[in-house]
Amino acid sequence: MTGARAGEGMPLPQGLYRPAVRHGTLIFTAGMTPRLDGVLKYVGPVTADANPLDWRDAVVLACRNALSAAQGQLAAGERLSGVLSLTVYIAAEAGFAAHSQLADFASEFLQSELGAAGIGSRAAVGVATLPGNAPVEIQLIASI
pLDDT tens for the chain, residues 1 to 144: 333 333 446 777 777 878 999 999 999 999 999 999 889 999 989 999 999 999 999 999 999 999 999 999 999 999 999 999 999 999 999 999 999 999 999 999 999 999 999 999 999 999 999 999 999 999 999 999
pTM of the predicted structure, to 2 decimals: 0.90
Measure Cα distances from 78 to 1, 36, 57, 70 in Å: 14, 25, 28, 12
CATH class of residue range 20-143: alpha beta
Q: How many CB atoms within 10 Å of residue 60?
A: 19
C-alpha dihedral sign at 36, 40, 41, 44: positive
